[in-house]
Chain A
């Protein structure tokens, strides 16, 4: 017993917090990458996450494409859709005030969500859990469905790969240099517009990947992304806009804090992240991992 709370409840909630944190990390990572290079506040991120789950569901329903193929194929498809959005909608307003791209992506989110609501309703659709992950692990203090354990592993691996590509490879160094000085990079013969399109596409693909991971967990419904997006934005702000490591660490940390709050003060669980955000903004206005401009 810790503070009158049975240890099993405490550890159970922390484990669940870690699972939610993995989703926060994956989604805020995409947002941070997009903001870092494009300076676009991607309000369509939630809709793109939902799109990932829906495309996986539709592929399964109409073409019998299984979970594992979907996990690779869906991010590519949705990522290409994202790249097209960047090329044809975001690029023409790239030099305008950031508010324009914010409004554009917000509008896109509403359109995509509305379209799916009209077509598929709001009751939600179930996506079967892949056969290998059907059981559960007995952790002693709780009964953890195997699929949830897999979600944490998959999300962390994806986050690590993204970090590795950006921080440790040549492509990543172009990206980071492009963030600092796009004109100079263009002068060195790097195709910056293409790099920008691919980056947006990659951020969107991460959202879609999270969507496929989420599909068997939650019911696949048009509103699934909208509910999550606000929290994810708070995570990005706490971590520091555009900071990749910040986004991942903060995502996991916020999941854990939320889990703890559910043990000690359940009513506060939906607001605690915003409380942390307010505190961080008061003390470190650029976020925990953000650089001073």
Chain B
């Protein structure tokens, strides 16, 4: 008797469980796609991502019409102040209290590594567009983030390889003393050694230093042909300014900016940077589509976009298209769709996302123009060669990512 009533009840319960299980995977949670934009909005990395990146994100949202299948797209944004604590707490709060589906931006590698752990815990998605440490899709890879634009492996590989092959075979590496600088330092060292070069010395400086003279003096004393700058933004700008004052380039040594952005070159001026070789994922003047998009961006911000800001637009667009195609904002479904769809947009053609979350595409080796070659305020680079994506990024055969090694 009892058995008779329990059985259908249990069946009904089981059925309701499976149905709720299905509905959790379908549709858009809270009937809103909620994007959090986490970036350095005030510190030394402000100009390469910062408010301009937020503007690029807004452009992507506007370009899909501000909604997907009737679900509104909402943007939250916050300043992480380059602090892993602040960044991690913000992401946690966004997920716990606002049900944010995806976090974009993500600047300092240290912040990103902290934030992606939380995204993994809660099965949300991260679109990393500014951090550079190659560890983000290696030791620290998760099934919950995708790494756009560049990483230290690709940047070192692009610039350092080209310079060693041109005869710059002895190096001194000056690195920012945190996750990104350390990753860049080891990636450069590996590339230089693999190409048959030597590393004469290394030093590390704190993030946002203003005085680089003592490091430049040590680099000068090392006698290395090339001083590799494994830092970024204002640190790179200060190091280049100081190196020029100490006559580093006059004495036959040359500088290699491993992480140079268009806003850095714009700030330093062509007089100071002409001839500098650099790797870039994107340049506003690379083709018709990029020029058109850059022009729209320029009209809104009065500055040309950096590769990072273009990458934020591209990755957000790819994400939103994947949400639209699958009709859900569930992280794994969307990630699968993003991996399965090639990327052809204003950013790149035939880019694809690997299982480890690395977006692989063709990068460029560029050289800063001379003042005579430049025809306008933002006419700063000439593209020297294309670095095929398969050569630029760390091959999966060398991967330490758990998603790859466990297969």
Contacts and interface: CB of A to CB of B under 8 A. Distances in A.
B30 interface: no
A123 interface: yes
A117 interface: yes
A278 B217 CA distance: 30
A122 B234 contact: yes
Contacts of A223: 43-44, 208, 234
B69 interface: no
B208 A126 contact: no
A270 B42 contact: no
A242 interface: no
B234 A221 contact: yes
A79 interface: no
A124 B246 contact: no
B196 interface: no
26 contacts: A6-B221, A9-B217, A13-B217, A117-B46, A121-B47, A122-B43, A122-B44, A122-B45, A122-B47, A123-B47, A126-B241, A126-B267, A126-B272, A136-B245, A142-B217, A145-B246, A147-B245, A148-B245, A219-B234, A219-B237, A219-B267, A223-B208, A224-B210, A227-B209, A266-B204, A269-B214
A260 to B, nearest CB: 11
A221 B45 CA distance: 12
Given A218-B238, A262-B214, A123 B263 contact: yes
A6 B237 CA distance: 29
B263 A121 contact: yes
Given A9-B221, A227-B208, A123 B233 contact: yes
A121 B46 contact: yes
Nearest to A266: B203
Interface residues of A, number: 37
A209 to B, nearest CB: 17
Contact of B214 (A13, A114, A117): A13
B342 interface: no
Nearest to A224: B210
Contact of B42 (A6, A20, A114, A227): A114
A221 to B, nearest CB: 6
Interface of A: 6, 8-9, 12-13, 16, 19-20, 114, 117, 121-126, 129, 136, 142-143, 145, 147-148, 217-219, 221, 223-224, 227-228, 259, 262, 266-267, 269-270
A19 B213 contact: yes
Contacts of B238: 124, 218-219
Given A8-B221, A9-B218, A124 B245 contact: no
Residue in B42, B43, B210, B266 whose Cβ sees the most chain A Cβ within 10 Å: B210
Interface string B245-267: 11100010000000000011011
Contacts of A269: 214
B266 A123 contact: yes
A19 B210 CA distance: 13
B206 interface: yes
Interface string B159-171: 0000000000000
Give 10 nearest A-B pairs by CB, closest first: A123-B267, A122-B46, A123-B47, A145-B245, A121-B47, A262-B214, A16-B213, A123-B263, A12-B217, A124-B237
Contacts, number: 93
Contacts of B268: 126, 219
A2 B217 CA distance: 18
Contacts of B221: 6, 8-9, 12
B247 A122 contact: no
Interface in B205-253: 206, 208-211, 213-214, 217-218, 220-221, 233-234, 237-238, 241, 245-247, 251
A136 B247 contact: yes
A138 B95 CA distance: 60
A129 B213 contact: no
Contacts of B203: 266
Interface of B: 42-47, 50, 203-204, 206, 208-211, 213-214, 217-218, 220-221, 233-234, 237-238, 241, 245-247, 251, 263-264, 266-269, 272
Contacts of A267: 204
Contacts of B213: 16, 19, 148
Given A13-B217, A126-B241, A227 B267 contact: no
A121 B233 CA distance: 11
A99 B183 CA distance: 43
A273 to B, nearest CB: 13
A181 B238 CA distance: 46
Given A145-B246, A148-B245, A223-B234, A125 B267 contact: yes
B267 A129 contact: no
A117 B269 CA distance: 19
Contacts of A122: 42-47, 50, 233-234
A121 B214 CA distance: 27
B246 A218 contact: no
A219 B269 CA distance: 12
B386 to A, nearest CB: 27
Residue in B203, B208, B214, B268 whose Cβ sees the most chain A Cβ within 10 Å: B214
Nearest to B177: A267
B218 A123 contact: no
B223 to A, nearest CB: 12
A262 B218 CA distance: 10
Nearest to A142: B217
A280 B367 CA distance: 51
A117 B238 CA distance: 17
Given A122-B42, A122-B43, A218 B269 contact: no
B241 A218 contact: yes
B247 A219 contact: no
A129 B264 contact: no
B49 to A, nearest CB: 11
Contacts of B47: 121-123
Contacts of A16: 211, 213-214, 217
Contacts of A259: 214
B211 A20 contact: yes
Nearest to B248: A143
A224 B263 CA distance: 18
